[in-house]
Amino acid sequence: MIHAELLSRLCRARDLLRDWEDEPLSVIAVARASGLTHFHFIRLFKAMFGETPHQYRSRAQIEKAKHLLVLTDLSITNVCMAIGFSSVGSFSALFSRRVGMSPSEFRRRYLASLPEQQLPSGLVPGCLSLMAEISD
Amino acid sequence: MKIKLSSIMVENQATALAFYTGVLGFKKSKDIPVGEFRWLTVVSPDGYPDVELVLEPNANPSAKAFQQAMFKQGIPLAAFEVDDIEAEAKRLKKSGVKFTMDPKQQGPVKLAIFSDTCGNLIQMYQPPQRTP
């Protein structure tokens, strides 16, 4: 059983993987900060959150990139650096693989329809509101 | 007016469907693509067939913040009823499900809490034995 104290350490680890200051933390560093051995940490994290710490961190980076692309006018290179990637090539490749379109296409698609500094509704489905968009 | 739908926010709809059907044992009911997401519901073969659980994407940052905070506080976001909680807990543990509370008598009911691997804690409970 996962006791309250371990649960809180795992949640803290998840926060560390998602919200970092200067650059993304390595999985080993986060395991250490959580007081768990590397492999034990990876196994527990996956069992609790359904993906490995590495997969979680990478998904969080892509999410952050999506928001920056739509909400700011940072260049693709700056978005790439802001989410902790050093190579625009590998960032664009990962982004395209995950999102199904390149960062610049993504920006073009969602930026046009925006009022102001708000994520478009297609990206922030509200409670049960998806039902309204089902087409027959 | 009928109670027909309830929803739970999930990190990833594809893995959520795998967990809620493959591990918990619910059956897929609706699966309709809507933009980047899906209108995805499951039903319980042991429960009322017309009550559906919507596996909702939690892409909304506000929803995500709420979900993460509740998880951190150990608070479940849905509760499912079972007939034999000890047997269910044993079955789920065998599938690798992690519990934050093992089955425990709490007042009139027996409760247990586990992670759904989609960002939520789920409570299952066994109601008091009904006397015939």
Name the residue facing A11 among B32, B57, B72 (closest C-beta): B72
pTM of the model: 0.88
- In order along its 136 residues, chain A shows pLDDT tens digits of 999 999 999 999 999 999 887 888 999 999 999 999 999 999 999 999 999 999 999 999 999 999 999 888 899 999 999 999 989 999 999 999 999 999 999 999 887 666 665 677 667 766 677 777 776 6
In A58-97, the residues whose Cβ lies within 8 Å of chain B are 67
ipTM score over 0.95, yes or no: no
Cα B95 to the center of its chain, rounded Å? 15
**∠ Cα A9 A13 A15 (to 5°):** 115
Q: Which of residues 57-86 of B touch A (CB under 8 A)?
A: 57, 59-61, 63, 68, 71-72, 74
Q: Do A1 and B101 touch (CB under 8 A)?
A: yes
Helices and strands (H and E) in chain A: how many: 7, 0
Q: Which residues of A touch B90 (CB under 8 A)?
A: none
Q: Which two tokens stand for residue A25?
A: 């933390």
Q: What is the dihedral of CA B64, B66, B70, B73, to 10 degrees?
A: 110
What does the pLDDT look like over B24-38, one tens digit per residue?
999 999 999 998 899
- DSSP element (H, E) containing A77: helix A76-82
